[in-house]
Chains A and B, each alone.
Chain A
């Protein structure tokens, strides 16, 4: 991991004039923060500079969202910043902060929090944060023992100590017909299930030091949960951001904390979700399209533990488009 150290060049009057011109469409506070940083090298206000520069590229009606939203705000989905606008943001940041941002590092910046952390590390000369792994719907379908219509993670970003996932409530989920009559509301049990599924993905996909072998997708089950609170009613069209963090992982148990947000609003919180897991047995064959998908009996999801074994299909493979379509956001 390269360590960057940024020392701003002394600011000449000409350079200051150019800075003012470059930042003429940013807020006065942003300009002041840049001048402060360039004159003193004090990095404390720098993440606010970046937010100010992002704000300058947003449509006026989207700007309040940036100001209200937390670090979890997604640059593309929540703010509508496409990759070309991101290049404009980066060019201006590079110019005014005198740093260089690489294309491949740029691709990892998905949320406002990612951007703040990245810039902070760069100007303070700290090591860059771990690069997250992005898992898309096709891979989720290939990896997970849960499958549609009982899969509630549509994309995910994994780090060694955190997983984030997205579930968009499409509105055609069968359980919404009866929950409730003429009044579709996402069940709290499904929220808990979604967090459990994200934890399953974490166990299957993350290489944690506590895991001494690959985890078998057929051997992960729900055991318990504690301190679950639901805070917001969620309906079709809502896009839920799922987050889990491992609290303790020691074979055969994994304990996680989890929470769900919708935009900037809190949806649900679980102090502890506990899963039991086992490793792939020597010689155990994994079906589907490769090493991950399960064969034979599928692991049951957290919500249906004790529901008895049922006949289950082998996991869908990544190219199974019709299945993929069923859980893609509509």
Chain B
């Protein structure tokens, strides 16, 4: 079975729009959360969001958008985009350049693309409102492809002229973990030599605010403390947007191209809670199983894991069940257990984007030799007793890293990365 390696990364996210900035933010624990102007209103209890900087995508008309001049996008390509498709396009452009892929390395029968997105609530709302107000014949002919759940896949597969496998994944906050996991299967099984994986989220009012209705968002108006996974006073997550792209390929293919290798992806696992549509299992049963499957498929023991990027979104219930799951898999002997942090303290929770964004952080952490600390913890949740929750960045290279994600319906994914050398 071929080894699967990571050869390219691209980031458009609240803590930076390029890898260097993202790595600096992670090392320095600089968060990307701000007061969101569209949350200013008497009926909106939420204030803070993780917004992408240097992009203006509030208009439903892509021709009104502003984005960094280095990205050249033709109107005919842009017109079917939702905001997160634009983020995804830019992140993928970075990842392709990072992996030193030429256009013919991207567009061939051995290269596929998996994406993860929940569609664009903003575009869907705009187009349906327009349909009701002006009639269906006055709606944009690209309204559907810009709105519905597959929008990231349709647009990027066409724009990058993908000829191999393609598919979009929608499993809420585990989506891009599933996309990465199945992309790994695609390469490890030999069906494809290379997979491009992209996750994205609009991260605007339409995406985030509905979570306030389920009491999942932090009502804390202070951007410096609103997202604080594992803190006893955490009161919900901070919504975020952006995109992340990752290139997976066989080690043989990477070697042949002389591509820089971030790390190996030795395996992944998934399992479900079978418990509740929106609430994670109190003991993290599905996540426990996902982590065990991931380790088994990677041929690793729990004691070999150096760092875990936790899903922990800063919700009271979710963080607790993950802490319990981590204790079940890795024990409570603080000395031998892996370093654990949640980078959502810095980025907020990117929903469909979250899993691949954090997988990208893990690959960057292995390459650049650090483990990002879990920011904003003033009083550590006693549930974490026995676990090594790192609050400051540790400047040591982790060799084996795991990244967890959990989504609605109790879907859990654990991804494993390890240094290639």
Contacts and interface: CB of A to CB of B under 8 A. Distances in A.
A130 interface: no
A82 B76 contact: yes
A59 interface: yes
B75 A84 contact: no
Nearest to B76: A85
A143 to B, nearest CB: 35
A259 B368 CA distance: 67
Contacts of B74: 59
- The bracket for how many chain B residues form the interface is 10 to 19
A87 interface: yes
Contacts of B75: 57, 59
Interface in B136-175: 137-138, 140-142
Contacts of B301: none
A88 B63 contact: no
A233 interface: no
A126 interface: no
A272 B148 CA distance: 58
Contacts of A80: 76
B395 to A, nearest CB: 48
Interface string A82-114: 101101100100010000000000000000000
A21 B141 CA distance: 19
Nearest to B75: A59
A87 B76 contact: no
Interface string B65-79: 000000000111001
A59 B138 contact: no
A91 B138 contact: yes
Interface in B107-155: 137-138, 140-142
A59 B76 contact: yes
A87 B63 contact: no
Contacts of B142: 84
A67 B137 CA distance: 30
B140 A25 contact: no
A88 B63 CA distance: 13
B63 A25 contact: yes
A87 B137 CA distance: 10
A91 B138 CA distance: 7
B63 A84 contact: no
A87 B142 CA distance: 10
Most buried by A among B75, B140, B142: B75
Nearest to B80: A84
A84 B140 CA distance: 9
A101 B46 CA distance: 47
A304 to B, nearest CB: 44
Contacts of B137: 91
B137 to A, nearest CB: 8
Interface string A39-57: 0000000000000000001
18 contacts: A25-B63, A57-B75, A59-B74, A59-B75, A59-B76, A80-B76, A82-B76, A84-B141, A84-B142, A85-B76, A87-B141, A88-B79, A88-B140, A88-B141, A91-B137, A91-B138, A91-B141, A95-B138
Interface of A: 25, 57, 59, 80, 82, 84-85, 87-88, 91, 95
